Amino acid sequence: EAAVTQSPRSKVAVTGGKVTLSCHQTNNHDYMYWYRQDTGHGLRLIHYSYVADSTEKGDIPDGYKASRPSQENFSLILELASLSQTAVYFCASRGTGQDTQYFGPGTRLLVL
């Protein structure tokens, strides 16, 4: 079974503060993704990466940066957190040549 872990599992941040969400996978997958989940919007892709040291923008990248320092690790960075970034964030991985994505447990972020 593929393994994707996220930390922290929940976080309370202040508006204007910096937030870093971390994701680690042990699947040896090349592709990693960051999504946010909001009621009524489903899952929306923020950033993704298919190789270390490179990231790509998804559908809603504004206000977020991503970092992929190694194949196993993918971070999502909110430089100036805003109220509208309160959501649940999911990381996922996928192997090259495969279609199924494996999701992490999620991080619940509350920005006050």
Partner 1 sequence: GEKVEQHESTLSVREGDSAVINCTYTDTASSYFPWYKQEAGKSLHFVIDIRSNVDRKQSQRLIVLLDKKAKRFSLHITATQPEDSAIYFCAASMTNSGTYQRFGTGTKLQVVP
Name which of 59 and 62 has its Cβ closer to partner 1. Answer: 59
Amino acid residing at 9: R
Q: Could you give the 3-state DSSP secondary structure of residue 60?
A: coil
Query: Which tokens hold the place of 85?
Result: 């970034």
Site size with partner 1, rule: CB under 8 A: 23
Q: Least distance to partner 1 from the beta carbon of 78, Å?
A: 21
The binder of partner 1 chosen from 59, 62, 70, 83 (CB under 8 A): 59
Return the closest-CA partner of residue 86 out of 7, 6, 19.
19
Q: Does the protein bind partner 1 through residue 101 (CB under 8 A)?
A: yes
Q: Within a 10 A sphere around the Cβ of 109, how many other Cβ atoms?
A: 21
Give residues in contact with partner 1 (CB under 8 A). 33, 35, 40-45, 48, 50, 58-59, 90, 97-106
